[in-house]
Structure 1
Amino acid sequence: MQSTTSSARWLCLPMLLAFAGTPAPTIVFAQSPPRNSPQATPPEATQPSDPPRSTLRLPKSPKETDRGLDFLFGALKAAPDEASARHVEARILALWSQSSSNTISLLMQRVKTATDAKQSDVALKLLDAVLKLRPEYIEGWSQRATLHYMRNDYQRSLEDIEQVLIREPRHFGALAGLGVIMQELGDDKRALDAFRKALAVNPHLERVRELVKTLTEKVDGRDI
């Protein structure tokens, strides 16, 4: 049980979550763009270095963002090695985290400050304000899901994960986070399903792949 809990905490920190590689940074459910952004860094962004800022030009319209994400998810599946995959992940995270609103950006900076100071109540109130202003903002739902998870409020975390996935079904961090919570709740079958969906979107999640192998043997009674 100890190892399961440890893996769960690691997976959900950047979310949500979570990605696959090195130890988790300060809590961000994503949440999570490059290291010198106002928000926390995903584990993969530490090895290798993030792409230069000049390569991270962000779209200016939702339609352009959608096209950019479609291209990047295709590139993620086709990435020839882990280094390439990490670069693509960083760009996806940057798109999910961007906001055209100065108010939202300021609030998210304050969320980061409150979270770093372990003031989760303050961070949650700030995220509530973010989502009231911009209910379509995926990063807000993702980070709030992570905070709820870290407070052991699984029900609220699951509700926010659902909102993330409604807006972006390919959110591999949220899918991994869903799997972690299902595993901690003892629902290995649903956990396995969520982990498999995360891998279908992002086949470079090494630790998720390990969990899929372990749970497949446990649920199906056979090796994969």
Structure 2
Amino acid sequence: MHPVSVFGSEASALLDRLRDASPAQAAQLEREIQLEWDRSGSATADLLRKRGADALERGEYDIAVEHFTALVDHAPDFAEGWVERARAFAALGMFGPAVGDLEHALALEPRHYQAIAGLAELLEAMNMPDDAYTAWEQVKVLHPHHEAATEALARLAPQVKGQEL
């Protein structure tokens, strides 16, 4: 049994289907899941998110953090706000706050495989390959066709599990 998603039954049903999907089905389900995750339910939240995303794109990471902070203050139950602010913190090299935000997003949506993937990337950047490998494995359980997870597990396996002689 999975924790109840704050995103409603539609996202939960899509996540359930993703586990058993073919690669083609998985790509479509991934798009549908992201659309569900993107629904903030607030025009203000959407505007703050857009401003933060635009600042990220311009490389203005401090400004992005400000917009995403306003977003999580305005809509603390909107997991994407925490995920986006984590991206901005990571871009600034502020891995501790980034990990904290991803943990908060995962408390809201435990099956948010993109948040887990972000956490795995941070753990790898912090030279914690065993923990990164475990996080990537969790991504694969939720989304068996996740390309970045597949690549990361292959890359980290020799370091984590050793090499066969």
Q: Normalising by the residue count of structure 1, what TM-score does the alignment of the two structures yield?
A: 0.66
- Residues 1:178 and 1:98: Cα distance change in structure 2 (over 3 Å): same
> How far has the Cα of 1:213 moved from its partner?
2.6
Partner in structure 2 of residue 98 of structure 1: 39
Partner in structure 2 of residue 206 of structure 1: 147
Q: From 5, 20, 23, give the equivalent of 1:78.
A: 20
Equivalent pairs, count = 161
Q: Give the AA of the match of 1:68.
A: E
Partner in structure 1 of residue 92 of structure 2: 151
SS in 1 for 2:59: coil
Q: Give the AA of the match of 1:171.
A: H
State percent identity of aligned pairs: 27
Q: Normalising by the residue count of structure 2, what TM-score does the alignment of the two structures yield?
A: 0.88
Q: Are residue 187 (structure 1) and residue 116 (structure 2) matched?
A: no
Q: Are residue 67 (structure 1) and residue 23 (structure 2) matched?
A: no
Q: Are residue 176 (structure 1) and residue 112 (structure 2) matched?
A: no
> How far has the Cα of 1:97 moved from its partner?
1.0
- Residues 1:129 and 1:205: Cα distance change in structure 2 (over 3 Å): same
Tell me how far apart the structure 2 counterparts of residues 63 and 144 of structure 1 sit (CA, whole Å): 20
> How far has the Cα of 1:63 moved from its partner?
8.1
Q: Give the AA of the match of 1:189.
A: D
CA RMSD of aligned residues (A): 1.9
- Structure 1 unaligned segments of length 5 or more: list them: 1-61
Tell me how far apart the structure 1 counterparts of residues 160 and 59 of structure 2 sit (CA, whole Å): 37
- Structure 2 unaligned segments of length 5 or more: list them: none
Q: Give the AA of the match of 2:142.
A: V
Partner in structure 2 of residue 138 of structure 1: 79
SS in 2 for 1:208: helix
Q: Give the AA of the match of 1:201.
A: L
Between 1 and 2, higher relative CO (CA 8 Å, sep ≥ 6) is seen in: 1
What are the superposed Cα offsets for residues 115-152 of structure 1, whole Å, 9 maximum, x if unpaired?
23322222211111111111111110000000111111
Tell me how far apart the structure 1 counterparts of residues 48 and 102 of structure 2 sit (CA, whole Å): 20
Partner in structure 2 of residue 118 of structure 1: 59
SS in 2 for 1:182: helix
Tell me how far apart the structure 2 counterparts of residues 188 and 64 of structure 1 sit (CA, whole Å): 31
- Residues 1:193 and 1:63: Cα distance change in structure 2 (over 3 Å): closer
Instruction: Out of 135-144 and 176-185, give the one that drifted further.
Output: 176-185
